[in-house]
Structure 1
Amino acid sequence: MTQGLIGKMFTTTQASAQKGGGPFIEEAKYPVLLFKQRLTTWLEKFYGMIRDNLKTEISPLLGLCIQAPRTARASLIKGAKSQANALAQQTLKAHWQSIVKILTNNLNVLKANYVPSFLIRKLFTQVFSFFNVQLFNSLLLRRECCSFSNGEYVKAGLAELAEWCISGTEKYAGTSWDELKHIRQAVCSSSEAK
């Protein structure tokens, strides 16, 4: 893929130089500068596509992560037998674990393709910021989500994300966890309100 991308950029650069125009007037004099500009453009384009695809893949799951499923909530609230309670806990974590799996898969693909760690950190920082905004806005807009049981549900999910950040190491996760500051504060407030 890399050779194809660089080859296409080189061909595009040559074609543009032969036409004698385009956005880079000085291209015949400075081919290295032109190559750098084109490479930067391609990198920004692909980075945006990867980030947007990751957000699109996770968005449907985020909607499910803000409100605990009724059956699982009922089991937890009633203090059902330990087996039913364990099943309820597993149900509660399923959506969050799906998000963690998506994050892990994307991290593995990026590492396998030798994406620089600073770009990976930037990507996950932006995705976690997206999580924070989506979850926090959902809490504000859906009054039924502002309950102790939902607070505990989101808190458990955030623990899954914290574990992922720790296992992802500072090299790749960076300051992603800090991006969840507002939703963490909101969840702690709802848990203490009981």
Structure 2
Amino acid sequence: VRAAQAALAAPGAPGLPCTVALGPATLADAAWSRWGESLREARTTLGLALTVPAAEPSCCATGPGGTLGALVTSSRALALERQLTGEGLTPAARDRLAHLVSRAVGPLLEWEAAHPSDLVRTLEVHLRNGCSPTRTAALLHVGRQSLYQRLERIESLLGFPVGDPDAHSELLLACCAHRLLRAAG
């Protein structure tokens, strides 16, 4: 990903914004089926990168004059999204994801409906970054104290600490599913 970002930001690279999606790395002497698998995953990843808003500020190369150049993402970065959407968001899949979202982060959504806040996104960014307050605050462009206040609100609404290892997977899946469902309309 970093090599692709550097190539797109290099002098002489196209200055127009573009989105690049990479599949899993494949050895040069690998069987053709491995190359095909990587290309299929890159195609699915590209579709998601173009339609689903990122969980956190994405890795972007900058063009001339510091303008936004290219979004570079990988199948690894969108693994949850790929697994949750599978072959598409069928009505049954939407119902399943909506149930997961309601059960896991419903109290946060109720709070967000009544108060201008961004608790679900804050939770997802925090979980995706190993519950690191420093990294989360930097990615959300908020002070650490503001982040701690958001996390306290999230924990009070959910009734348990967000760092609880038993809840981590469900919360992350629910936050990701919420973002997918919002993007799908």
User: How does the TM-score come out when normalised to structure 2?
Assistant: 0.26
User: How does the TM-score come out when normalised to structure 1?
Assistant: 0.25
* Structure having the larger proportion of residues in helix: 1
